[in-house]
Each structure stands twice: as structure tokens, then as C-alpha cells.
Amino acid sequence: MPLIGDPAPSFTAVTTAGEINFPKDYRDKWVVLFSHPADFTPVCTTEFMTFANMQDEFKELNCELIGLSIDSIYAHIAWLRTIKEKIEYKGMKDIEITFPVIADLKMEVAKKFGMLQPNASDTQAVRAVFVIDPKAKIRAILYYPLSNGRNMDEIKRLVQALQKSDAEDIATPANWQPGEDVIIPPPGSCGTAKERVESEEEGKYCLDWFMCFKKGQ
């Protein structure tokens, strides 16, 4: 299983949107690669509808979605058509899933990313999420069990937090939302700590020498 900071494993795969070559086809983009246990299952259906409903929000963040399960391309197509034609959930209906869904019957991609966990299932991928940056480095990994659906708003918030940290060299506190205050990296020396606490910078405030914030924008 690749870890945070590792290069994302490369692969070529057949998907519902045609063949993709990763990461070549996603150069300079953020990617959320996520697995689901199986087509035609209720939890997965709610997840896919929610992701599809938020796809434009992810695109605004320069972020593309890629799904995966250990099913055939024909099962994927039939399931996505069923979602569009028959399923209504939380006011969402006629939902067309246009992001690629990988057909991974041989489990090649799932094994590369550690999406199979034998104590959960030998034949189904767990609900894994890999957030991958424009340099094809893995920046975050989330795992959920088969029984519980993911929070797509949290996945989007995580992408936004990573992008904010990269752009401004800051950290984000617990429950941070875009526009809220952010954390300035801790000082590396006693002198720097003293200067930071005593200095008066617009938009900066400290709770202690190690805990300084910058007003959100």
C-alpha cells in the first residue's frame, strides 16, 4: 500500500469514460481516486450520486474524480444507467455519472493501492480514498468500512485545506472551513518564538509562542 508522500502508482485501465493512463492523463490536476465495494449496492449508489452531484465543485478546485470497483465494465454501465433512469435520493434524480469508473476485475489497480483488506473481504475493495496532487504524490488517505458511506463534503474540504496549505505555507486547525483563520508554522528557535509573540503583524494573533494564527481570507 502506498503511503502519504509516496508517488501514486501508475496504471492504465478501462473505464466507463474510455481508457485512462494515470497519472499521464491527469498532469497538473488534483485527483480523488476512490474505491467502492460493488455495483448495484445501496451505500455505493448514494455515494456515487453525491459525488456526481458535486463534480462541478471539485472541478472548480482543479480536481478530478476517478471511481473503482472489482466489477466489469458492463456491470458499471448497467448500474450507472440504472442510477440515471430510476434512482431518486435526497432530491437528486436523473443523475448522470460522467467521471470515469475503473473496471478492475483482475484487481490490478486495487492491489497497487492497497484497496483490498482480507479481514473485510477477499473479493471487494473497501471504501478507500486517495487524494493525489498535481505532481502525482499521495497527499491524504481515507478508509471506510463496507457498511458506512463517506462524507463527500469532508473530502472536498480536505482538498481545499491541502491546496491552502500548499499555497500559503500554513496549517489548518480542527474543523477548518474555507475563509476561516489558519495556523502559522511553529517557530524553529527561541529567538524566533520571542519575535513572533512580540511582533505586531496585521491579521496575526498568538495564543502562545507555539500557537499563532493568521486571519482567514
Catalytic residue set: 44
150 appears as a binding residue in the annotation = no
Omega before residue 23 within 30° of 0, cis: yes
Grid cell listed for 83 = 442510477
Residues belonging to the chain: 217
The phi, psi pair for 21, rounded to 5°, reads: -120, 105
d(CA 5, CA 41): 33
Grid cell listed for 25 = 492523463
Structural contact between residues 121 and 146, judged by C-beta atoms closer than 8 angstroms: yes
Grid cell listed for 121 = 473481504
Structural contact between residues 22 and 8, judged by C-beta atoms closer than 8 angstroms: yes
Bind-site residues: 127
- From the annotation, which residues make up the binding site for substrate? 127
